[in-house]
Chains A and B, each alone.
Chain A
Amino acid sequence: MSEEENNNKIKTQIIPAIHNTVSFRTFLKTEDNKPIAGEKVKYIFYRTNGEKFAEYNPTSDENGMTHITLNINSDVYIEVIYKGNSQYEKRELLTYKTKPSQEEIDKKNNHSYKEKVKSDKLKEKERQKIENIQKYNEHQKDLEKTQDDNVAIELKNVTLSFKVGKDKIDNIKEYVIRTIKRNKEKKTIFKATDDVSLKIYKGEKVGLIGFNGAGKSTLLKIISGVYTPDEGDVIINGNIAPLLSLGAGFDKNYSGRENIFLNGAILGYNEEFLKAKYDEILEFSELGEFIDLPVKNYSSGMLSKLGFSIATIVEPDILILDEVLGVGDVNFRKKSRKKLNSLIESNITVLLVSHSIKEIRSICEKAIWIDKGKVREIGEVNQVCDNYLEAAKNASKDETKKIKPKRF
């Protein structure tokens, strides 16, 4: 505090007392430390949102001290004003935080307390986890009881294999020659999805996790109907909004307006719906008058804004997401995340593929771990994620062991 240069000065002191009753004291003293008596000091109290809620004007006593006691249970700002004379005015803004908890004080002083908290937290976490799993299991049992009409997505023994060859025959010449020579290379069959069975109930938020190339995207494509499995059944109840690609099939020579209808048609909307929702799409996309320009003149951000606005205009029964995406600039990113979150939080079924375990944990209650085309684990999200992370750690250890540099 730099009040030293003035003739009059303020020394303020805030002494917190017990039970939220706080006393504020101010000492008015001259430069040579003599108290100034009989002077008024103004205290103005503000809440943290800026709202003024109290004002006091106590007079200083023979020690130069002013004193107020107040009952406070939230954080406040206090402005202390002393008007010495016409030339001199002293203002000071103070912040008072409600009493720190006993634990916090202890924490500062006591090291062993930290340990205790840590172990407590772990125990709490463990307890929470078990509770979650129990809750989840009960919920699943409930769901299973009400059965069929409650299932949103069901896969029964779904298998899809790709033929993989080093040199794929993709022209007739090759095909004919090889057939004559009887030297068709043996194709290896790669099962991208191998006997997968799972049930996702209505309203469940499900995360799909797995290492790269485990078959997550293939599974999503099977569920959204892009791939048809070789064997097994896919049962879908409700309409799906796959947010896998924004603006699929945009025609670059079309204006934004025309592309809304083209892309909408590809997404399976009908004409009346699009006409009714057109203004809403335009408004959300923030394109304004650009909507009448051909999209070849759009920036990539504008394109994805438009794509996002079209894709999220429906209220689907099942939302399929490959990574929770935010598109466009900072503002639109916020807006699109908000929109997605509101979609996710509504009572629809969500299937999310993400490499961000944090995101999966925060959004989903159920997780499916896909490994080498098979379901490795289905269950409560935290449990599956923990196991997955554990496996990932071990896997990377093995990997790094292999690539340790050799000494020459």
Chain B
Amino acid sequence: MTLEILKKGTSENFLLKQIIRKNFTSKYKDSILGVLWSFFNPLITMALLTAIFSTVFARSIENFPVYFLTGRIVIDFFNSGTKIAMTSFKRNRSILNKIYVPRYIFALGGICSEFINFLMSVIVLIAIMIVTRAPFYPMALLSVIPVFILFLLIVGVGLILSILCTKFSDIEYLYRIFTSLLIYACAIFYPITMVPQPIRGYMELNPVYGIIAQFREFVMFGRFPSMKLMLTTFLFSLALFVIGIIVYSKYKNRITLEL
């Protein structure tokens, strides 16, 4: 449509910035510790789970706190990113219903603010690695690859959910159940080797697990993960990203009618 072309790109970047900022501040608006929760949250769960599981899996997991955190920050980003994108149109319906704003900006803005949260928890991860005297590998820098794949995946899934959510109100609740199941399915706090074979094969198809596995390979062991794993997760994520874009562009014009 003509309107899309007429709106200038510079003001869109500015809007994106403003939305990210708003999401970020509103998340911690009523808490005393504020942004510090981004650090405390993973730390506390890590401490708890380390206390419970580190002895159980002592033989198969070398450095439990780091093992847990690497998985935890990835799945946290996935869950919170997709959730915030899912509800973005609904939450901003008062704006969308009155002014023309490119709608995807609200979804993207939400994901970006969760990405900042993710970066902050990376700081926690580094701190814990220092404390537990875990080795740092130069190869760890390549972990930007799985993070990039993760971003694609989140945008794709988030866009699909955001459109579904305008049509069906119970998607929100269903997805909440799904995400808590996903935590168990991604081998966050147990070794994947524990899972017997046919099931494990299916689990490895899960792109979120794939991303976590790659992330761990790069960060914890300084190794290049298997090409097969990287390719399947990448293609899977790319497919979801493309589907997300298609779904969004097909239904974006109906969003305001459904809200």
Contact = CB atoms under 8 A, between A and B. Distances in A.
A226 B167 contact: no
B2 A267 contact: no
Contacts of B256: 221, 226-227
B14 A267 contact: no
Interface in A316-332: none
Nearest to A227: B256
A245 interface: yes
Interface size band for B: 35 or more
A172 B99 contact: no
B14 A270 contact: yes
Interface stretch (B65-73, B88-96, B116-124, B130-138): B88-96
A172 B95 contact: no
A266 interface: yes
Contact of A268 (B7, B92, B253): B7
Determine chain B's interface SS by DSSP, over half rule.
Answer: helix
Contact of B15 (A173, A175, A226, A265): A265
B14 A172 contact: no
A223 to B, nearest CB: 10
A8 B11 CA distance: 82
A301 interface: no
Contacts of B29: 253
Contact of B174 (A162, A170, A172, A240): A172
A236 B11 CA distance: 19
B30 to A, nearest CB: 9
A234 B2 contact: yes
A228 B102 CA distance: 12
A251 interface: yes
B96 A226 contact: yes
Nearest to A245: B98
Contacts of A106: none
Nearest to B170: A171
Interface of A: 162, 170-173, 175, 221, 224-228, 234-236, 239-240, 242, 244-245, 248-249, 251, 253-254, 261-262, 265-271
19 contacts: A170-B167, A172-B170, A225-B1, A225-B100, A226-B99, A236-B2, A242-B99, A244-B98, A245-B98, A253-B25, A253-B26, A253-B29, A254-B22, A262-B21, A265-B18, A265-B19, A266-B15, A268-B101, A269-B11
Instruction: Give 8 closest A-B pairs by Cβ, nearest first.
Output: A225-B100, A228-B253, A265-B18, A265-B15, A245-B98, A171-B170, A270-B11, A249-B95
